[in-house]
Structure 1
Amino acid sequence: MAASPSAVMFRGVERHYGAVRAVDGVDLDIAPGEFFAMLGPSGSGKTTCLRLIAGFEQPTAGHIEIFGEAMEGVPSYRRPVNTVFQDYALFPHMNVLDNVCYGMMIRGVERGEREQLGRAALGMVKLAGKEERKPGQLSGGQRQRVALARALVVRPKVLLLDEPLGALDLKLREEMQGELKTLQRSLGLSFVFVTHDQGEALSMADRVAVFNEGRIVQVGAPEEIYERPRTRFVADFVGGSNVIDAALAGAWTGSTKAASLRAEKIVLLANGAAAPDGAIVIDGSITQTLYQGAVKRIELVTDNGQRLVASVPASLSATPAPGTGVRVAFPRAALHPMEEP
């Protein structure tokens, strides 16, 4: 039996703007029903890839398929996708129901049918009863739900989300992360989510592609991306890991590669406290302590000159002041060798 086609497939895809290679040889497979995140800094190529899927851009080179159908030259309105934008792009003069039904009206769907489908879509995003309100009468989170309902009501095979939570405050953004994931699971659609926020990507996605300078530098499950970064860029961008150069990592473990060490793997040893069995123990001095709510960020420099950041519970009874000598420890297995320095 032939394998099911990918929801989205890129092969050798490039997009140039003059001498600038916004997308530079991307290969990618997104599975049907997968929540897939494209993560990277501004200018890394992730949004351009989303626009290539949507049909707002055409590739300079390479091949794109959506559910086994080639997309070269296919306009955006004929692709089985829809997009939710960061600014929501709602019509302020229309009520909520008319905003949701607008795409179906353009497609010629009869009024009674489209209103029935529109009300069902609003119920799906928990906005039943808000049909007659104007966008200006809604909160930011409610407007985002209207945009979602408008995108979903036309039954796309792939939903594209271009940093849709970027305009929301932190608490609402965290609430919407859970709601988006629940909605995606219930619908079984492929979601392609673009973000520069590693917390969003790690919390929602089944898999994450990390972009840098127009290329994908690593693809994997959130745990793999966080715990086992392949490159210095991924280690630093996703969670701000300590990067240990090859010489020092070799002195500690015998490895010949630079290594990633997550801040939360490092523990402070109180005076006279024994280190866990097999742990690497290092002496140094505190340079700065930052209170961050549930944790404290402890910055230190070791006796051999390596700068480290440790993330320790804020509930610790006492944290050494800057300039104080300190002994820290971490499991040998917490040092993850990277493929690229």
Structure 2
Amino acid sequence: MYFEGIILDCITEINENRSISGIFHLLVGKKSIQSVHDARLFQLEQYYGIYPTLRRIDLQAIVSNLQQKKLVDNGSKDGFYQITEKGRRHLIKFKKSPLYAYYRGLLYNGTDVLFFKRLHLLIQTYSNIRMKNTAFIPVVDDVDVAGWVKAFYKKNWSVTASLILYEELHKLLQGLEEKEAEVLVNRLSGYHHYGMSMDQIALNYQLPIHDVNLLTVGIIHQMMYQIHRHKEDYPVLYQLIRENNNNKFITKTANQTYQLLLERYSPETIAKIRKLKLNTVYDHIVEIALYDKEFSIEPFVDTKTRKEIVSVINRCKSYKLKTIKDNCNPYISYFQIRLVLTRL
């Protein structure tokens, strides 16, 4: 139900502006400007990167199943789909589930995995050391996470800290549905106890494996959201999600271009300085505009050009770059169109 609902929502919002490949890149969190742009443009930020292990073949199988159930139809061309009236009723049902409101994919992309790894290993560590067992096998095989947990434990080694962690988790889980809280707890490991695998949870709750993956991600996002909102109530858990990276852009190279833009270098000069193609610098500028709403696009797109691009988008009712370009004055570039799209 969960996976089908998410796919139906994506198909509805994208409305044939992107093929099924675009939805795949969105869900796996492809590190590209286009995928991030699509997430924001079609108001699907909550789904960005929520299923990084998804295989293309599995997505296509789900879509084929949706067709068989008559929840979607083939679109105007191959790879494009439209939701049916039956599909809309199915989507309404999905949107009534608590899980729908949990996802914050673009906000927590990457940090959600790190948070759960730290939490999982920290609970296992506290549980075993309280029982004076220092020879346990860590459930998380990640050197960086192990190092973080070790440093955290040295700083917060008292019995009181473990009790506070318990109280914080208990309070957090009370805000979830009973099944959601059970799924999360069943994943955790402790003294002489190892948490369930995704397959075991799927079997235990009679859920498809895709839904188990998406349910787990949704629960983690909701936990992180509540910790962020009420960090004074979760002093221990908040340390697990504190930001470690102040770089607001998706790539370091875009941040380097941004620093040169602040020094008032032109894109052409930046390309020469950094020995990059001009189009690569343009990609960086679009990325910066996506992530920094205070970044002015006026030096690259004047008001008249901006108005024309917006007018074409409204007239054509399309966000496809080629469609917009074909209906604009020839002097308007793809770069300018992409910049205007970041502000819609």
TM interval, shorter chain, is under 0.3
TM norm structure 1: 0.23
TM-score by length of 2: 0.22
Higher normalized helix content (fraction of residues): 2
Judging by fraction of residues, say which structure has more strand.
Answer: 1
